[in-house]
Amino acid sequence: MTLTEHPVRGPVGSRRPRGAPRRGGGVPIALLLPALLGLAFLTLPLIGLLARTPWSTLPQRLAEPGVLAALRLSLLTATLATLLCLLLGVPLAWLLARVEFPGRRLVRALVTVPLVLPPVVGGVALLLVFGRRGLIGGWLDQTFGITLPFTTTGVVFAEAFVAMPFLVIAVEGALRGADRRYEEAAATLGAGRWTTFTHVTVPLVGPGLAAGAVLCWARALGEFGATITFAGNYPGRTQTMPLAVYLALETDVEAAIVLSLILLVVSVVILAGLRDRWISTP
Amino acid sequence: MRPRTAVLAGAVALVLAGCGTPGGEAADGDVTGTVTVFAAASLTATFDRIGRDFEAAHPGSTVVFNFAGSSALATQITAGAPADVFASAAPQHLEAVTTADGTPAVFVRNQLVIAVAAGNPEGVRSLNDLARPGLKVALCAEQVPCGAAARGALDAAGVALTPVTLEADVRGALAKVRLGEVDAALVYRTDTRAATPDVAAVEFPESAQAINDYPIAVLADAPNPTAAHAFVAHVRSTQSRAVLTEAGFQAP
Amino acid sequence: MTGCLLDARLAVERGDFRLDVPLRVAAGEVVALLGPNGAGKTTALRALAGLQPLTAGHLTVAGSDLDRPDRRTFVPAEHRSVGVVFQDYLLFPHLNVLDNVAFGPRRHGANRRTARRSAGDWLARVGMVAHARRRPGQLSGGQAQRVALARALAVRPAVLLLDEPLAALDARTRLDTRAELHRHLAAHSGATVLVTHDPLDALVLADRLVIVEEGRVVQEGDAATVTARPRTDYVAQLVGLNLHRGRAENNHIRVADGLLLTVPERLDGDAFVAFRPSAVALHDGQPAGSPPNTWPATVAGVQRHGDNLRVQLDGPVQVAADVPPATAATLRLIPGQRVWAAVEVTETHAYPAG
């Protein structure tokens, strides 16, 4: 009798060479059909935009100074908002994932409030806190002469408010999924909690962190309601692309389509670029 | 909710009976069914009441409203939304859709005022005052009717001012006055009327240069044209005019 | 006791589980905590590392208290002079081999260059310098184990802790790695505590064995003592002996109703008697002349054991017997078969249980 080193399981007839492709049609139709429908549902509006794009006048429209200003402002504020969210949201996610404290469930629910709150209401709420007569804004104004509404900083605040839950939820999930024993290993090597956090925990949850940051950035880029309510609309200062699109819709649908298209192309290019970078690192 | 509406409708009917036959729309028997009215957001409060009056005068009819920005409504109608009547806050939006009976009729006009916080703490008296340094002013963006009107008034007065924000609609501008984020905003008189007592209105002569006409029309594809015509007639009746004037609108 | 680098009574109470293990380890000594799964070995190790606070007892290393619940003293893991090799090594996946090993020295204040140089030295010692730029995911089990050892030693710990250091390796790698690990442990000047459930690891790597069962120490001593005189079924099984407890009177021990074993030693009171499975002979009938130490038994099971067959016997006592395959064939050893078992007096070994 010979003993095989790797016992073969199952009937002999079902053996196939390792690495050989499975037989075709492995995806069940019950999954494939809704998947394709879902894809169509998500991409058809995009096709609708493309179909209505006034290609002949596109160059002139792109060259309009207001367009570039709004695009630059959008990219700048969405990026700053994402940085702000990382600065505050990652520690918050860590707290929610790693520290037992009374009322943690409540805090977790509160974090998601901006997700369910209509953004316009969020903007009003921000005004009530950071506005000229607001709880904190009044003090800021009188003490330091700092006002947030109608400023670019205000745009960043509004965007961060609505986008932060995406980051916190993604990072908290990643932290819960991460193997905590690596942190213990770091501790036995002499790393304190902060060093462990920065040198071990954060790199370990890197993919989740990146996904959260991307979601956060994308949400900030498309933000409209809270921004126009809290920061108003002024070209070059607080008029981001979504605001420009909304106003263009009032008079010139084609202009609105062009603006939407620019926002779309730029964000897709940036996200695809970043994604390639992340995937290439093991 | 339902019983209360019925009682209210009954009361209105009684009042109507006391006044005699309302003008313009004689009791034509076949006004029944649903009338779908797309109306500018600034007409919300007045049209709600006018709609109830209409239903009381025409038992068996129901008025359904869709209130939104005039341009959004025009886009919806062009895209095939089943509307009978379109009441717009500016003529150009009605021009964008196909109407049934030729020229739409202007049924009210709205005039700009300076909205300030109650008691007018900054002492704003004229358009010139808005250019005062340190004074925060909200205007509507020029793409929307109130913004175009404001631009016209400021140009007429020769006033150059830098607002802190160009709001996407009149409610946004008014909300910022209410919350104290700006000291003044150029909005419609009807809006300040609705926001009393938080907001006070300061009238200014140049507003005559920037008056907004509100046209109304039956749409070409109206599913219920008879009722639609009856509704337009009702809006233009003396009874409805009183409702509109009370809200701050002016007769055309 | 003086001369002990590590002096502890590791007491942890957690729900139903209670651990209470006294432990003393001298500098240069390697002690193995040996026990079945769930005995509390890993909890003891975590308590030593500072990853699990004691609920009672004490832990002193080189004269300073690291954990003393009664004095509210607790030194967290990062401030203890310990190095840990974890069961599945836990090399940081985002750092290459060199930076994994340099991680400890960096945290202990070395600058990047010094830390890397020191890491390189340790990698050279474990023969991994050629793999310094690799990521942990690209290493084999044996290589990862060596890197983990280098990483633990690179902080020059007073106490080196190893949790099942060879459990994750396949049988072949294990053999090589065990010998190599022995070399490194012998070279370590501090105290070494090794947790394992594999007696071979313990016997090869450790100077002294501490057997833990259900949170308590059941036996302690050097390899020779423990293998010769097991005191629990678990230890007897580990070292491959039949072990029975009974009342001794002169050179007789009553281990069960109706079974009196004769032993070479003269003893009184509670005693253990141990004998090898290969010392048990099987017969199809009662041996002629009724020699001592024979009893009727039933075959409960038969397994291959090296070149022989191991026969599990039921009867007055449960006993394992190793017989050559030829005997098994003659006796038709199938479960349920009735046989007679016999053990020579000189093959037994008795010692007090007290």
pLDDT digits (tens, 9 = 90+) for A93-137: 999 999 999 999 999 999 999 999 999 999 999 999 999 888 898
pLDDT band at A265 (very low <50, low <70, confident <90, very high): confident
- B100 with B115, same domain? no
Nearest to A182 among C82, C84, C92 (CB): C92
pLDDT band at B5 (very low <50, low <70, confident <90, very high): very low
- B98 with B29, same domain? yes
Residue A209 placed within a domain: yes
Nearest to A127 among B75, B144, B181 (CB): B181
Residue A146 placed within a domain: yes
Q: Could you tell me whether strands B184-188 and B33-40 are parallel, antiparallel, or unpaired per DSSP bridges?
A: unpaired
CA C8 to chain CA centroid, Å, is 19
Residues in C touching A182 (Cβ below 8 Å) = 90, 92
* Chains A and B in direct contact, meaning 3 or more beta-carbon pairs closer than 8 angstroms: yes
- B93 with B186, same domain? no
- B87 with B170, same domain? no
Q: Which residue from B minimizes the CA distance to A132?
A: B181
CA distance A107 to B63: 46
Residue B237 placed within a domain: yes
A with C: how many residue pairs have Cβ under 8 Å apart? 60
Cα angle A25, A26, A29; round to 5: 75
Chain B: touching chains (3 or more CB pairs < 8 Å): A
User: What domain range includes position B116?
Assistant: 110-211
Number of domains into which chain A is organized: 1
- B138 with B218, same domain? no
Domain harbouring B72, CATH code: 3.40.190.10
Residue B15 placed within a domain: yes
- B60 with B28, same domain? yes
Chain C: touching chains (3 or more CB pairs < 8 Å): A
Residue B21 placed within a domain: yes
- ipTM rounded to 2 decimals: 0.83
Residue A19 placed within a domain: no
C46 touches C38 (CB < 8 A): no
- B134 with B206, same domain? yes
pLDDT band at B169 (very low <50, low <70, confident <90, very high): confident
pLDDT band at A227 (very low <50, low <70, confident <90, very high): very high
Number of domains into which chain B is organized: 2
Residue B251 placed within a domain: no
Residue A14 has pLDDT above 50, yes or no: no
Residue A78 placed within a domain: yes
Give the mean model confidence (pLDDT) for residues B173-185. Answer: 92
Residue B50 placed within a domain: yes
pLDDT band at B216 (very low <50, low <70, confident <90, very high): very high
User: What domain range includes position A202?
Assistant: 73-239
- B81 with B46, same domain? yes
Digit-coded pLDDT (tens) for A54-92: 888 888 888 877 888 999 999 999 999 999 999 999 999
Domain harbouring A167, CATH code: 1.10.3720.10
Residue A129 placed within a domain: yes
Residues in A touching B179 (Cβ below 8 Å) = 124, 127-128, 131, 133
Q: Please answer yes or no on whether B143 and A127 come within 8 Å at the CB atom.
A: no
CA distance B112 to B187: 5
Does any CB of chain A come closer than 8 Å to the CB of residue B96?
A: no
Residue B137 placed within a domain: yes
Digit-coded pLDDT (tens) for B43-83: 988 999 999 999 999 999 999 999 988 888 998 998 888 99
Residue B252 placed within a domain: no
Nearest to A234 among B164, B175, B181 (CB): B164
Among chain A, residues having any CB pair with chain C shorter than 8 Å are 179, 181-182, 184-192, 195, 199-200, 203-204, 206, 282
Q: Which residue from C minimizes the CA distance to A200?
A: C92
* Chains B and C in direct contact, meaning 3 or more beta-carbon pairs closer than 8 angstroms: no
Residue B152 placed within a domain: yes
For A186-224, letters b (16+ CB in 10 Å) and e give bbbbbbeeebbbebbbbebbeebbbbbbbbbbbbbbbbb
Does any CB of chain A come closer than 8 Å to the CB of residue C50?
A: yes
- B135 with B225, same domain? no
- B88 with B9, same domain? yes
Domains, chain C, ranges and CATH? Answer: 4-233 (3.40.50.300), 240-352 (2.40.50.100)
Torsion of CA C112, C118, C119, C122, to 10 degrees: 180
- Which residues make Cβ contacts (< 8 Å) with residue A64, sequence separation at least 6? none
CA distance B204 to A91: 54
Give the mean model confidence (pLDDT) for residues B206-211. Answer: 82
- B58 with B127, same domain? no
Query: Can you read off the two tokens belonging to residue C276?
Result: 């090898």
Residue A12 placed within a domain: no
CA distance B143 to A250: 6
